[in-house]
Amino acid sequence: MHNGLTVSYPVSTPQAEIVTYVQNYVRSRGDRWGADGVNFLTSEPIFENESKAYDFLMSKVDDCYGGYAVRYYDTSSVSTTRTKVIDIQIQKTIDKKAEWVLAHSIHNLKAKHITCAKCSSRLNKSYIKGEKCPLCYADLRSKAVLERIKGFEDKIALLRKEKEEHCRPKATVMWLVWFEYNS
């Protein structure tokens, strides 16, 4: 079975040590077939966070049992009073969004039937699981509710970006290593 794994190392870790770890991991798993080295992509810019580095690595995967490594800023270890305040704001916004979603669920409507705006199907609310039309998969909530949910998501994204920008000067630069192996 084809598998992939990501591991993180500080940039100060010797590249030979990282390659040795990958080789030992591959040789101790399954049929011992997989990445025999790591291509350190130093020409790529340092990514803002681990998620963006991971997305980039996934775009590089070619199912040829390779190994790749890119650098990213690890802001998870940075803790200041400003980051704590931002974390509290993020959590409050997430909680408000959750309350809003629950309060404005289609299951809280008084009507027994709901008409889908996309396919015009008249649906019995008791047979609907979630918030989507079972026929066309369109969201059954009103535009106003969807816009408010998007507003919450935009605010959370903005706060996370503000936190990353605040933490970046103090962040540790890490290698995100992706390699493939067969088990």
Query: Where exactly are the structural domains of the chain?
Result: 2-76+171-182, 81-168
pTM value surpassing 0.75:
no
User: Mean pLDDT over residues 93-117, rounded?
Assistant: 94
The C-alpha atoms of residue 171 and residue 153 are separated, in whole angstroms, by 25
Tens of pLDDT along 69-88? 999 998 888 888 998 999 99
CA separation, residue 78 to residues 38, 82, 84, 86, 166 (Å)? 28, 10, 10, 13, 9
CA separation, residue 83 to residues 28, 120, 156, 160, 181 (Å)? 41, 47, 14, 10, 38
Q: Pull the structure tokens for residue 137.
A: 């998969």
* pLDDT at residue 162, as a whole number: 92
Tens of pLDDT along 161-178? 998 888 888 888 999 998
State yes or no: pLDDT of 42 exceeds 80: yes
Long-range contacts formed by 99-107: CB under 8 A, 24+ apart: 100/145, 100/148, 100/149, 100/152, 101/149, 104/141, 104/142, 104/145, 104/148, 105/131, 105/141, 106/131, 106/140, 106/141
State yes or no: pLDDT of 17 exceeds 90: yes
User: Mean pLDDT over residues 3-11, rounded?
Assistant: 88
Tens of pLDDT along 52-66? 999 998 887 766 677
* Beta strand ranges found along 26-66 (DSSP E): 33-34, 39-40
State yes or no: pLDDT of 30 exceeds 70: no
Instruction: Categorize the per-residue pLDDT at 32 as very low, low, confident or very high, splitting at 50, 70 and 90.
Output: low
Computed over every residue of the chain, the mean pLDDT equals 89
The C-alpha atoms of residue 121 and residue 137 are separated, in whole angstroms, by 11
Tens of pLDDT along 151-163? 999 999 999 999 8
